[in-house]
Amino acid sequence: MERRKLHEQGPECSRIIAGAWRWHTVSPEQVDRLVHTALDQGITTFDHADIYGDHTNEGRFGNVLRKNAGLREKMQLITKCGIKFPSGRRPETRVKHYDTTREHIRWSVENSLAELSTDHLDVLLIHRPDPLMHPGEVAEVFAALRQEGKVLHFGVSNFTPSQFRMLQRWLPFPLVTNQIEFSFSHLEPLFNGDLDTLLEFKASPMAWSPLSGGKPLPIDEREIFQLAARYNATYSQLALAWMMAHPSGVFPIIGTTKPERMEEAARSLSIKLNRQDWFALLKELMGKEVP
Ligand SMILES: NC(=O)c1ccc[n+]([C@@H]2O[C@H](COP(=O)([O-])OP(=O)(O)OC[C@H]3O[C@@H](n4cnc5c(N)ncnc54)[C@H](OP(=O)(O)O)[C@@H]3O)[C@@H](O)[C@H]2O)c1
Protein backbone atom coordinates (compact mmCIF):
# COMPACT_ATOMS: atom_id res chain seq x y z
CA MET A 1 0.00 0.00 0.00
CA GLU A 2 1.34 3.41 -0.97
CA ARG A 3 1.96 5.79 1.91
CA ARG A 4 2.05 9.56 1.50
CA LYS A 5 2.17 12.68 3.58
CA LEU A 6 -1.09 14.62 3.65
CA HIS A 7 1.06 17.75 3.60
CA GLU A 8 4.83 18.17 3.66
CA GLN A 9 4.49 19.10 7.35
CA GLY A 10 1.65 16.65 7.89
CA PRO A 11 1.34 12.99 8.87
CA GLU A 12 2.15 10.07 6.60
CA CYS A 13 -1.00 8.07 5.94
CA SER A 14 -2.01 5.06 3.91
CA ARG A 15 -3.31 6.19 0.51
CA ILE A 16 -6.57 4.40 1.23
CA ILE A 17 -8.20 5.21 4.55
CA ALA A 18 -10.77 3.09 6.39
CA GLY A 19 -13.83 5.02 7.55
CA ALA A 20 -15.71 3.89 10.65
CA TRP A 21 -19.00 5.72 10.04
CA ARG A 22 -20.97 2.51 9.38
CA TRP A 23 -19.16 0.23 11.84
CA HIS A 24 -21.90 0.32 14.51
CA THR A 25 -23.95 -1.85 12.12
CA VAL A 26 -21.66 -4.85 12.69
CA SER A 27 -20.64 -6.93 15.72
CA PRO A 28 -17.62 -6.15 17.93
CA GLU A 29 -15.91 -9.24 16.45
CA GLN A 30 -16.41 -7.83 12.95
CA VAL A 31 -14.96 -4.45 14.01
CA ASP A 32 -11.93 -6.38 15.26
CA ARG A 33 -11.66 -8.18 11.90
CA LEU A 34 -12.02 -4.92 9.97
CA VAL A 35 -9.20 -3.29 11.94
CA HIS A 36 -6.89 -6.28 11.49
CA THR A 37 -7.76 -6.77 7.80
CA ALA A 38 -7.12 -3.09 7.13
CA LEU A 39 -3.71 -3.24 8.79
CA ASP A 40 -2.85 -6.48 6.93
CA GLN A 41 -3.63 -4.64 3.68
CA GLY A 42 -1.46 -1.67 4.68
CA ILE A 43 -4.53 0.49 5.36
CA THR A 44 -3.17 2.01 8.55
CA THR A 45 -5.21 5.21 8.69
CA PHE A 46 -8.71 5.21 10.23
CA ASP A 47 -11.31 7.95 9.96
CA HIS A 48 -13.72 8.61 12.82
CA ALA A 49 -15.99 11.34 14.13
CA ASP A 50 -17.28 11.96 17.64
CA ILE A 51 -20.86 11.52 16.39
CA TYR A 52 -20.52 8.27 14.38
CA GLY A 53 -22.89 5.52 15.51
CA ASP A 54 -24.70 8.04 17.72
CA HIS A 55 -21.45 8.76 19.57
CA THR A 56 -20.56 5.06 20.03
CA ASN A 57 -18.19 4.16 17.17
CA GLU A 58 -15.06 5.69 18.65
CA GLY A 59 -15.66 3.60 21.76
CA ARG A 60 -16.20 0.42 19.71
CA PHE A 61 -12.90 1.05 17.94
CA GLY A 62 -11.24 1.89 21.27
CA ASN A 63 -12.31 -1.53 22.58
CA VAL A 64 -10.19 -3.15 19.86
CA LEU A 65 -7.20 -1.07 20.99
CA ARG A 66 -7.89 -1.85 24.64
CA LYS A 67 -7.74 -5.58 23.84
CA ASN A 68 -4.64 -5.44 21.60
CA ALA A 69 -1.61 -3.85 23.22
CA GLY A 70 0.74 -2.29 20.68
CA LEU A 71 -1.88 -1.88 17.93
CA ARG A 72 -2.17 1.90 18.35
CA GLU A 73 1.44 2.42 17.26
CA LYS A 74 0.68 0.76 13.93
CA MET A 75 -2.02 3.25 12.89
CA GLN A 76 -2.98 6.88 12.37
CA LEU A 77 -6.24 8.07 13.90
CA ILE A 78 -8.33 10.87 12.47
CA THR A 79 -11.42 12.16 14.20
CA LYS A 80 -13.75 15.11 13.88
CA CYS A 81 -15.69 17.46 16.11
CA GLY A 82 -18.15 20.30 15.90
CA ILE A 83 -21.55 18.73 15.09
CA LYS A 84 -24.15 18.42 17.83
CA PHE A 85 -27.55 16.79 17.37
CA PRO A 86 -30.41 15.77 19.65
CA SER A 87 -29.71 12.31 21.02
CA GLY A 88 -30.47 10.33 24.17
CA ARG A 89 -26.71 10.41 24.73
CA ARG A 90 -26.60 14.20 24.57
CA PRO A 91 -29.85 15.29 26.30
CA GLU A 92 -28.66 18.91 26.58
CA THR A 93 -28.81 19.34 22.76
CA ARG A 94 -32.25 20.58 21.61
CA VAL A 95 -31.51 21.40 17.99
CA LYS A 96 -28.94 20.21 15.51
CA HIS A 97 -26.17 22.77 15.36
CA TYR A 98 -22.43 23.31 15.04
CA ASP A 99 -20.14 24.22 17.90
CA THR A 100 -16.58 25.33 17.23
CA THR A 101 -16.05 27.17 20.50
CA ARG A 102 -12.75 26.56 22.28
CA GLU A 103 -14.62 24.86 25.14
CA HIS A 104 -16.39 22.38 22.88
CA ILE A 105 -13.37 21.58 20.72
CA ARG A 106 -11.30 20.85 23.82
CA TRP A 107 -14.07 18.83 25.48
CA SER A 108 -14.61 16.83 22.28
CA VAL A 109 -10.90 16.05 21.88
CA GLU A 110 -10.61 14.87 25.50
CA ASN A 111 -13.70 12.72 24.99
CA SER A 112 -12.40 11.23 21.71
CA LEU A 113 -9.05 10.42 23.31
CA ALA A 114 -10.81 8.49 26.08
CA GLU A 115 -13.23 6.73 23.70
CA LEU A 116 -10.49 5.76 21.24
CA SER A 117 -8.20 4.71 24.08
CA THR A 118 -5.28 6.79 22.92
CA ASP A 119 -3.19 9.66 24.26
CA HIS A 120 -3.06 11.53 20.96
CA LEU A 121 -4.95 12.07 17.71
CA ASP A 122 -2.95 12.14 14.50
CA VAL A 123 -5.44 14.49 12.84
CA LEU A 124 -8.42 16.47 14.15
CA LEU A 125 -10.91 17.88 11.65
CA ILE A 126 -13.65 20.47 12.08
CA HIS A 127 -16.50 18.36 10.70
CA ARG A 128 -18.53 21.08 8.99
CA PRO A 129 -18.20 24.83 8.51
CA ASP A 130 -19.89 26.64 11.40
CA PRO A 131 -21.37 30.03 10.52
CA LEU A 132 -20.60 31.17 14.07
CA MET A 133 -16.97 29.98 13.97
CA HIS A 134 -14.34 32.56 14.83
CA PRO A 135 -11.07 31.47 13.21
CA GLY A 136 -9.02 33.15 15.95
CA GLU A 137 -10.74 31.10 18.63
CA VAL A 138 -10.21 27.87 16.68
CA ALA A 139 -6.55 28.76 16.06
CA GLU A 140 -6.03 29.36 19.77
CA VAL A 141 -7.42 25.99 20.89
CA PHE A 142 -5.69 24.13 18.02
CA ALA A 143 -2.35 25.63 19.05
CA ALA A 144 -2.90 24.66 22.69
CA LEU A 145 -3.88 21.07 21.82
CA ARG A 146 -0.83 20.79 19.59
CA GLN A 147 1.45 22.18 22.28
CA GLU A 148 0.06 19.62 24.75
CA GLY A 149 0.72 16.79 22.27
CA LYS A 150 -2.94 15.76 22.27
CA VAL A 151 -3.44 16.49 18.56
CA LEU A 152 -0.54 16.33 16.11
CA HIS A 153 -2.21 17.81 12.99
CA PHE A 154 -5.38 19.68 12.06
CA GLY A 155 -7.67 19.90 9.09
CA VAL A 156 -11.25 20.60 8.08
CA SER A 157 -14.10 18.84 6.36
CA ASN A 158 -16.75 20.11 3.94
CA PHE A 159 -15.19 23.59 3.92
CA THR A 160 -15.48 25.78 0.84
CA PRO A 161 -12.24 27.18 -0.61
CA SER A 162 -12.82 30.56 1.05
CA GLN A 163 -13.55 28.95 4.43
CA PHE A 164 -10.38 26.86 4.13
CA ARG A 165 -8.31 29.92 3.23
CA MET A 166 -9.85 31.99 6.05
CA LEU A 167 -8.97 29.48 8.77
CA GLN A 168 -5.52 28.84 7.30
CA ARG A 169 -4.74 32.57 7.49
CA TRP A 170 -5.20 32.51 11.27
CA LEU A 171 -3.04 29.45 11.88
CA PRO A 172 0.74 29.38 12.35
CA PHE A 173 0.84 25.80 11.00
CA PRO A 174 -0.80 24.20 7.93
CA LEU A 175 -4.20 22.63 7.67
CA VAL A 176 -3.28 19.19 6.31
CA THR A 177 -6.53 18.34 4.53
CA ASN A 178 -10.10 19.20 3.62
CA GLN A 179 -12.22 16.04 3.76
CA ILE A 180 -14.85 16.42 1.05
CA GLU A 181 -17.41 14.36 -0.79
CA PHE A 182 -15.95 13.20 -4.12
CA SER A 183 -17.05 10.25 -6.24
CA PHE A 184 -18.51 9.24 -9.59
CA SER A 185 -21.81 10.69 -8.34
CA HIS A 186 -20.27 13.86 -6.86
CA LEU A 187 -17.93 15.50 -9.33
CA GLU A 188 -18.26 19.08 -8.05
CA PRO A 189 -14.80 19.23 -6.40
CA LEU A 190 -13.26 19.03 -9.88
CA PHE A 191 -14.95 22.28 -10.86
CA ASN A 192 -15.84 24.27 -7.73
CA GLY A 193 -12.32 25.10 -6.57
CA ASP A 194 -12.12 22.52 -3.76
CA LEU A 195 -9.30 20.50 -5.33
CA ASP A 196 -7.56 23.58 -6.79
CA THR A 197 -7.42 25.20 -3.36
CA LEU A 198 -5.87 22.10 -1.80
CA LEU A 199 -3.24 22.08 -4.54
CA GLU A 200 -2.62 25.77 -3.86
CA PHE A 201 -1.99 25.02 -0.16
CA LYS A 202 -0.14 21.74 -0.91
CA ALA A 203 -2.58 19.79 1.28
CA SER A 204 -4.19 16.58 0.06
CA PRO A 205 -7.93 16.01 -0.08
CA MET A 206 -9.64 13.09 1.60
CA ALA A 207 -12.66 11.85 -0.36
CA TRP A 208 -15.66 10.70 1.64
CA SER A 209 -18.22 8.28 0.15
CA PRO A 210 -15.78 7.57 -2.72
CA LEU A 211 -18.00 4.71 -3.90
CA SER A 212 -21.14 6.86 -3.69
CA GLY A 213 -22.15 5.08 -0.50
CA GLY A 214 -22.73 1.89 -2.53
CA LYS A 215 -25.57 3.46 -4.54
CA PRO A 216 -25.84 2.85 -8.29
CA LEU A 217 -25.44 5.88 -10.56
CA PRO A 218 -28.51 7.29 -12.33
CA ILE A 219 -26.82 6.67 -15.71
CA ASP A 220 -26.19 3.71 -17.98
CA GLU A 221 -23.16 2.18 -16.31
CA ARG A 222 -22.30 -0.34 -19.03
CA GLU A 223 -19.41 1.72 -20.44
CA ILE A 224 -17.91 2.00 -16.96
CA PHE A 225 -18.07 -1.76 -16.46
CA GLN A 226 -16.50 -2.30 -19.89
CA LEU A 227 -13.65 0.07 -19.11
CA ALA A 228 -13.13 -1.65 -15.74
CA ALA A 229 -12.90 -5.00 -17.52
CA ARG A 230 -10.29 -3.58 -19.89
CA TYR A 231 -8.12 -2.71 -16.88
CA ASN A 232 -8.89 -6.09 -15.33
CA ALA A 233 -10.46 -4.16 -12.48
CA THR A 234 -13.76 -4.21 -10.63
CA TYR A 235 -16.11 -1.25 -10.81
CA SER A 236 -15.07 0.01 -7.37
CA GLN A 237 -11.35 -0.39 -8.11
CA LEU A 238 -11.83 1.71 -11.24
CA ALA A 239 -13.70 4.38 -9.25
CA LEU A 240 -10.91 4.61 -6.67
CA ALA A 241 -8.13 4.56 -9.30
CA TRP A 242 -9.91 7.32 -11.21
CA MET A 243 -10.02 9.71 -8.27
CA MET A 244 -6.47 8.86 -7.15
CA ALA A 245 -5.22 9.90 -10.60
CA HIS A 246 -6.05 13.54 -9.77
CA PRO A 247 -2.87 15.57 -9.15
CA SER A 248 -4.08 16.77 -5.75
CA GLY A 249 -3.33 13.27 -4.42
CA VAL A 250 -6.79 12.25 -3.21
CA PHE A 251 -6.95 9.86 -0.23
CA PRO A 252 -10.23 7.90 -0.61
CA ILE A 253 -11.96 6.92 2.65
CA ILE A 254 -13.71 3.63 2.06
CA GLY A 255 -16.71 2.84 4.23
CA THR A 256 -17.19 -0.87 3.76
CA THR A 257 -18.04 -3.19 6.64
CA LYS A 258 -16.73 -6.21 4.72
CA PRO A 259 -13.05 -7.24 5.05
CA GLU A 260 -12.98 -8.73 1.54
CA ARG A 261 -14.02 -5.34 0.11
CA MET A 262 -11.08 -3.71 1.91
CA GLU A 263 -8.79 -6.16 0.14
CA GLU A 264 -10.48 -5.35 -3.18
CA ALA A 265 -10.02 -1.60 -2.59
CA ALA A 266 -6.35 -2.01 -1.67
CA ARG A 267 -5.69 -3.54 -5.11
CA SER A 268 -6.96 -0.36 -6.85
CA LEU A 269 -3.56 1.26 -6.32
CA SER A 270 -2.04 -0.88 -9.03
CA ILE A 271 -4.48 0.47 -11.67
CA LYS A 272 -3.07 3.39 -13.62
CA LEU A 273 -5.59 4.95 -16.01
CA ASN A 274 -4.31 6.60 -19.15
CA ARG A 275 -5.36 10.20 -19.76
CA GLN A 276 -7.88 9.40 -22.53
CA ASP A 277 -9.61 6.75 -20.43
CA TRP A 278 -9.73 9.18 -17.49
CA PHE A 279 -11.58 11.65 -19.73
CA ALA A 280 -13.71 8.90 -21.29
CA LEU A 281 -14.99 8.13 -17.79
CA LEU A 282 -15.61 11.81 -17.07
CA LYS A 283 -17.62 11.99 -20.28
CA GLU A 284 -19.80 9.05 -19.21
CA LEU A 285 -20.32 10.55 -15.77
CA MET A 286 -21.19 14.04 -17.08
CA GLY A 287 -23.19 12.73 -20.01
CA LYS A 288 -21.18 14.95 -22.38
CA GLU A 289 -17.67 15.64 -23.54
CA VAL A 290 -15.63 18.34 -21.90
CA PRO A 291 -16.13 21.63 -23.79
N1 LIG B 1 -16.66 14.27 6.53
C2 LIG B 1 -17.91 13.94 6.29
O3 LIG B 1 -18.83 14.77 6.32
C4 LIG B 1 -18.22 12.52 5.97
C5 LIG B 1 -19.51 12.16 5.52
C6 LIG B 1 -19.75 10.81 5.21
C7 LIG B 1 -18.73 9.87 5.37
N8 LIG B 1 -17.49 10.26 5.82
C9 LIG B 1 -16.38 9.30 5.96
O10 LIG B 1 -16.26 8.60 4.73
C11 LIG B 1 -16.28 7.21 4.99
C12 LIG B 1 -16.80 6.48 3.79
O13 LIG B 1 -18.15 6.84 3.52
P14 LIG B 1 -19.12 5.75 2.90
O15 LIG B 1 -19.30 4.64 3.85
O16 LIG B 1 -20.34 6.44 2.40
O17 LIG B 1 -18.17 5.27 1.70
P18 LIG B 1 -18.35 4.32 0.42
O19 LIG B 1 -17.14 3.44 0.41
O20 LIG B 1 -18.65 5.17 -0.75
O21 LIG B 1 -19.66 3.46 0.70
C22 LIG B 1 -19.64 2.33 1.53
C23 LIG B 1 -20.98 1.66 1.38
O24 LIG B 1 -21.06 1.12 0.06
C25 LIG B 1 -21.40 -0.25 0.14
N26 LIG B 1 -20.82 -0.98 -1.00
C27 LIG B 1 -21.53 -1.55 -1.99
N28 LIG B 1 -20.74 -2.12 -2.88
C29 LIG B 1 -19.47 -1.93 -2.48
C30 LIG B 1 -18.20 -2.31 -2.98
N31 LIG B 1 -18.04 -3.02 -4.10
N32 LIG B 1 -17.09 -1.94 -2.30
C33 LIG B 1 -17.21 -1.21 -1.16
N34 LIG B 1 -18.40 -0.83 -0.63
C35 LIG B 1 -19.53 -1.18 -1.27
C36 LIG B 1 -20.84 -0.69 1.48
O37 LIG B 1 -21.53 -1.85 1.88
P38 LIG B 1 -20.77 -3.02 2.72
O39 LIG B 1 -20.50 -2.46 4.06
O40 LIG B 1 -21.78 -4.10 2.70
O41 LIG B 1 -19.51 -3.34 1.95
C42 LIG B 1 -21.17 0.50 2.35
O43 LIG B 1 -22.52 0.50 2.75
C44 LIG B 1 -17.11 7.07 6.26
O45 LIG B 1 -16.84 5.87 6.97
C46 LIG B 1 -16.62 8.26 7.05
O47 LIG B 1 -15.38 7.94 7.67
C48 LIG B 1 -17.23 11.57 6.11
| pTM (two decimals) | 0.97
Assigned domain for 284 exists: no
Looking at residue 255, its pLDDT comes to: 98
Give domain status of residue 234, yes or no: no
Closest atom of ligand 1 relative to the 21 alpha carbon: 45
Nearest-atom number in ligand 1 for the CA of 212 is 20
Q: Is the pLDDT of residue 135 over 90?
A: yes
Q: Is residue 282 part of a domain?
A: no
Confidence band of 220 (pLDDT split at 50, 70, 90): confident
What is the whole-number distance in angstroms between the Cα of residue 253 and the centre of ligand 1?
8
Assess if residue 286 is contained within a domain: no
Partnered with residue 4 across adjacent β-strands are: 13
Domain that holds residue 145: 3-218+239-271
Report the domain count for the chain.
1
Q: What are 39-58's pLDDT values in tens digits? A: 999 999 999 999 999 999 99
The answer to whether residue 288 is domain-embedded is no
Q: How far does the centroid of ligand 1 lie from the alpha carbon of residue 263, in Å? A: 14
The answer to whether residue 289 is domain-embedded is: no
- CATH number for the domain harbouring residue 47: 3.20.20.100
Q: Does the residue 168 lie in any domain?
A: yes
How far away, in angstroms, is 51 Cα from ligand 1 center?
16
Whose C-alpha lies nearest to ligand 1, atom 45? 19
